[in-house]
A = this chain, B = another copy of it.
Amino acid sequence: MTRDAEFSSLGPGGEFDRIRAIWRRLGTAGGVGDDCAVVTLNGARLAFSTDLSVQDVHFRTGWLAPLEIGWRSAAAALSDLAAVAAQPRGILVSLGVPADWPGMLVAELMEGAAGAARQVGAEVWGGDLVRANRVLLDVAVVGELAGDPVWRRGAAPGDALWVTGELGGPNAALQAWQRGTEPDARARERFARPMPRIAEAAWLRDHGARAMIDLSDGLVADASHLAAASSVRCAIRAEEVPRHPAAGRMDPLEGGEEYELLVALPAAFDAAADFTRQFGLPLTRVGAMEQGAGVLVTEEGQVVEVGRVYRHF
């Protein structure tokens, strides 16, 4: 939540800084800029997050079926729990739909959100349903922490930087839709039904993860958040970044909506093969943490200019 990419869409300069400053002052239960609030209530250590998706900002109804819109919105929120290695327990789904939407489609939105929750062991606890002129879903998620949360701020120079899965599929799908063509089916699936990496996050925590973030804004943008929170530089070797088969050249670096995990692990970590055996998912070393600030992307030793930070369309 409170993504920089989204804040920056509200306006440049002083106003943007003012909003961020106020948000940070109000929201004090997580690390600054972290994905989740972590709170102890009656001895239970809980993680909370919320993710708002709005038609024509985060999705278009012509691109996705209602079931997929519901799934995707819930998965985006659940992914915030993965980022701190919390186990999802329940979700609340607030829906806004136009008055002329058939009830069947509203039911499908809900079923989609419930499906994403069930997939990771969570239940739908409730929600709200109101009229709105566009479809919107806000999903609040509640998770339990078995151990300490993994924050964005724990990385140190010398740590290795790893990423789960293959990147670039969702952006390839988005770009196809925006060109007016039908996306590659595998890329479309990555956009429409992302899988929050909940069990994978717990495994990474148990294998020494020092800092972690989920890739909602894109590899380079989210690496910059990790770098800022940990006061380090993320050095990424573009040639190592695992590419989705349908991805264009810059999609894996710049494309958002991945919901894979970017994680800093001790340099000595060498259990990636175990991870892949357990989850059927690549875990790939893409760089390292260094002294400094920001993100440095190289390809075969040459600096790569990363043109844009991912923005919702």
Contact = CB atoms under 8 A, between A and B. Distances in A.
Interface of A: 1-3, 6-7, 9-11, 14-16, 18-19, 22-23, 26-30, 36-37, 39, 41-46, 48-54, 56-58, 89-90, 92-97, 99, 101-104, 106-107, 110-111, 114, 123-134, 136, 138, 140, 142, 144, 312
Nearest to A1: B128
A29 B90 contact: yes
A155 B148 CA distance: 44
A58 B10 contact: no
A140 B139 CA distance: 9
Indicate how many identical chains form the complex: 2
A41 B39 contact: no
B11 A126 contact: no
A125 to B, nearest CB: 4
A24 to B, nearest CB: 10
A233 B131 CA distance: 30
A81 to B, nearest CB: 12
Contacts of A125: 27-30, 37, 39, 48
Nearest to A21: B107
Contacts of A27: 124-127
A131 B3 CA distance: 12
A103 B10 contact: yes
Contacts of A6: 128-131
A84 to B, nearest CB: 12
A145 to B, nearest CB: 9
Interface centre among A1, A22, A57, A140 (most CB of B within 10 A): A140
26 contacts: A1-B92, A1-B127, A1-B128, A6-B131, A10-B131, A11-B103, A15-B103, A16-B103, A18-B107, A19-B129, A22-B111, A29-B123, A29-B125, A36-B126, A39-B125, A41-B44, A42-B43, A48-B142, A49-B92, A50-B128, A52-B138, A54-B131, A128-B138, A132-B134, A138-B138, A142-B142
